[in-house]
Structure 1
Amino acid sequence: MKCLRPIGVALGCSMLASGAMAQLSITPPAQTPAAKKEAPKEAPKPKVHSPVAKKAAPKPAAMPTPSPSPSPTTAFEDPNVDLVYGAYQRGMYKTAFELASTRAQYNNDPKAMTMLGELYANGLGIKRDYAKAVQWYQRAADAGDREGMFALAMLKIAGRGGPVNKDEAVKLLASSAKLGEPKAAYNLALLYLDGQTLPQDVKRSAELLRMAADAGNPEAQYALATFYKEGTGVPKDVEKAVRLLQAASLADNVDAEVEYAIALFNGTGTPRNQPAAVALLRKAARQNSAIAQNRLARVLATGQGAPVDKIEALKWHIVAKTAGKGDLALDEMFADMSPADRAEGEDAARKWIGSNVK
């Protein structure tokens, strides 16, 4: 089975590793109108994963000082007015912190508590502090917020803001998933599939993946597609697998784009549509999928599904090869290229690789 990764975590095939933490995507309250227009007070700061904080017992955090300007009887009187989320979405993290602090203090709002945990965990608008993030996520979880539960579980798995506690993390993920949080269901499914933290149970894993996939989670849709493709925990069904790959690819899941493109190209579980397949391969290649780059190079070199373009094909072959996806057959195809065409393809590859070096 292809490696499945926890949401927001780059871990290869190690599932939930001790240093991992998923990025939280905070959902605003229902019927949230657009936040008031406000000139940004600060430029958005990139999210940088810094080394794990020292695993000391967290000290009780002082309640953040609320901003004096908003009043509990005005700005936070209407639960449908979500200025906090609006500020967060626009990258105005200090404003989001001040408003969330006020709402958490005056209204005991669990969504505001989760927001404070998010800001502390990622160092947005305030110094990163995992211990305080744990405290705010814990308060949100105790108040029944499913996203707070999920975020707290990921911190406990990672051992950030306190010692690693996978048993407690599993309970939090289960509670969050029961409340309908798709990211929690997906990560819990990986734990059942991995069989290390929990006894391996592929049927339970499939059930959880289906729950998350039905909620529109693209990672779960892709994972469940692999289950149907291989008959893991569910009856083998290639057509269901392809439908799930299509849904995940529409949400820009790169792995799904590649596999759906291959299915379209070959007509596996879906009518053959090579132009659409090549378009998807181009998209995934530009998203740095080495598999897509290799397949696109083959298409352009052979003219199957697209006009022959050996210069462009050589470019993608070199890019894929640099990423570890070599292809001896393509090496032979390009052996008789003219020096001028080869130089043009190599130059295009160098420019692509140079512009994508992080």
Structure 2
Amino acid sequence: MGGLSEQLNIIKKFIKCHAGESDEVQARRAVETVMPVAESGDAKVQYLLGKYYSWGYHHDCDNLKAIYWFGKAADSGDERAAEAIMDIYRNDCPDGTDVVQRKALILKWHKRWFGILAEKAGKGAADAAQALMNLYVDDCPEDMNPEEGVEEACKWYARQIGILTSKAANGDAVDKMSLADILLYGYNVPEEVLASFTDEDDKRSLLQAVKLYKEVVKCDCIDFLKSEACYNMGRAYDDLGEGKKALASFKKAAKLNNHEAYVKVGDAYHYGNGTEQDDAQARKWYRKGADLGEITAALRLADCYKNGIGGKQDYAKAMEIYMCLAERTGRKWQHQAAGIDTALYELGCMHMEGLGVQQDMKKAYRYFKLAVKKENINAGNALNDERFKDFK
């Protein structure tokens, strides 16, 4: 019959298959083989048996048996098992369970699920605290209203940050970076939780993020992490309204080969954020970023040429940049879709207005249509121009 691992794999494969696509007899034999292991208290095998019996496309499907084995796994601290029992009562309640019982059992196992996660979070599991934060927003128990759910989510956010802060204090650059990024960008934090923060909360988070990014820069780690830390530090300083410190951080990131930083430095000079306004310097930094292949820098540089920002107006060079970006098609360039749609839109505008080229409404229409396919809203609005009515 093979070893335990082989028998477990047979069951896992069977559960993943559609009805009739796998050997039901073989799966049943595997279940009989691993049953003593489950009975001896192996939570992973207990959970797998729960999955087997709850999977509704074979003759052994039995929700009561599924609940039994999921219950055993939940007793061993498997939160997935408690969630699975709750879902059974929610979606496929066993016969003989009345409405009142069903509601009570859903709530019981919902709270059991959350309780197991809370116990793990209490022991320092940041992922469990994060899960509870999201669940209290997306799937709070029925005896709580949404506002109470968000209030609980905020408590678990604080717990997650506390756990990660302790870990970062004794951890490496990656631990520090991960926490700082959550504090700065709100990664995986529900909008409802973020919306509950006061201005003072936001400031405190940004200052903590800056402190962590500074620690990363001082760490013995690869330059890539240091460049990301400098760049994100600049973003944090920007949000704090400290333009000079933001610009200094972006320049450090650029020295460490962070391509996005060139755009931020160029923007600082263009808008006079943290320095004297200087469009010539802005154009210079955009060109540096564009030469490295940074798409936003290329678009900024094209705009400088098109509108004569920081130097001579040059429609031909603007057109050249837009054409180069517009030709980036296929999956290879999918990550740059937002910039490519802008280039297509700008090409449409230049042909529609005859900027550096002879006015050509057919080409303008084609470029706008291509930009619309990439979800460019401005291009969609441009197509409403009366001059395009004969092309539709």
TM-score of the aligned structures, taking structure 2 as reference length: 0.44
Q: Based on CA coordinates, which of the two structures has the bigger radius of gyration? A: 2
TM-score of the aligned structures, taking structure 1 as reference length: 0.48
Between Structure 1 and Structure 2, the one with more helix by share is 2
* Higher RCO (C-alpha under 8 Å, 6+ residues apart): 1
